Amino acid sequence: MKRFFLCLGILGLVCSCGSDDPPPAPVGANLVFPDQNSECTTGTSVSETLSQVTFSWQASANTDSYTLNAVNLDTNVPQTISTAATSASLSIAKGAPYSWSVTSRNTRSDQVASSETWLFYNAGSQTTYAPFSAQLVSPVSGSTVQKSLENEVVLMWQGADVENDITAYEVFFSTETNPTTPVGTTASGVMELNVGVTSGTVYYWKVVTTDSRGNSSDSGVFEFRVF
């Protein structure tokens, strides 16, 4: 009988320890459509300026619901919708560039997981599109960085274009909050540039992307401080 109660006590201890395990965190979803760096032509027209686009993604583990986030890159205005399904529709502006991503959630966990962020153009009446705004990668905006022995910092970005006809990236770099001084231009396949810096100084930079038709886009300004 003592052995019986001892076994029950051990079983109760194991169960109580197991109950303290954290709930499983959700996993980020894999995006499916609209494709990365593409023109979305499947939208259903709802007005002269809007079309309804259906976004889709793969189911992710430990997830009860998803939040779709689409951002008009011309206006920086976001649109969101939550769903338990792996697709959702939004009415978005025709002829505008968008970024989109999906956040996975689990009601048993405080943690959330984000997908990658993809870019696309929602089809409009135009036959050519400006390049997507360059995505500034490094230095991260608001960060403090160490300069090299040559007193330089490497600026890095990512660029993309629906028509794959980017010709150049022009880099503007200054201690002024709105940098208007070009410090270099790189070819389409080169997305980094070394710039000279001074310790204790805050710098501002942006990248203007140009394509073969003369279309251009502005990345917006990032800033960083040098140790």
DSSP 95-139: T-EEEEEEEEE-TT-S-EEE---EEEEEP-S-S--PPPPPEEEES
Residue 19 included in any domain: no
Q: What are phi and psi of 8, to 5 degrees?
A: -65, -40
Residues 116 and 140 in one domain: no
User: Dihedral of the CA atoms 128, 132, 133, 134 (nearest 10)?
Assistant: -130
Residues 170 and 220 in one domain: yes
Residues 83 and 161 in one domain: no
Which of residues 61, 93, 122 is at a domain's end? Answer: 122
Residues 154 and 185 in one domain: yes
Which of residues 122, 144, 169 is at a domain's end? Answer: 122
Residues 52 and 111 in one domain: yes
> What's the distance, CA 43 to chain centroid?
22
Measured distance CA(42)–CA(92) in Å, rounded: 12
Q: What does the pLDDT read at residue 19?
A: 53
Domain span at 151: 135-226
Counting other chains too, the contacts that 16-19 makes at CB distance below 8 Å and 24 or more residues apart are: none
Residues 39 and 82 in one domain: yes
Residues 151 and 116 in one domain: no
Measured distance CA(14)–CA(145) in Å, rounded: 49
Residue 5 included in any domain: no
Give the domain CATH number at 202.
2.60.40.10
Q: What does the pLDDT read at residue 29?
A: 98
Residue 16 included in any domain: no
Retrieve residue 18's tokens. Answer: 């197991």
Residues 99 and 152 in one domain: no
Measured distance CA(175)–CA(209) in Å, rounded: 21
Residue 68 included in any domain: yes
CA distances from 148 to 54, 151, 183, 195, 213 (A): 47, 5, 18, 10, 38
pLDDT < 70: residue spans in the chain: 1-20
Residues 40 and 110 in one domain: yes
Residues 221 and 147 in one domain: yes
- Number of separate domains in the chain: 2
Residues 148 and 104 in one domain: no
Which positions ≥6 away from 1 have C-beta within 8 Å?
Answer: none
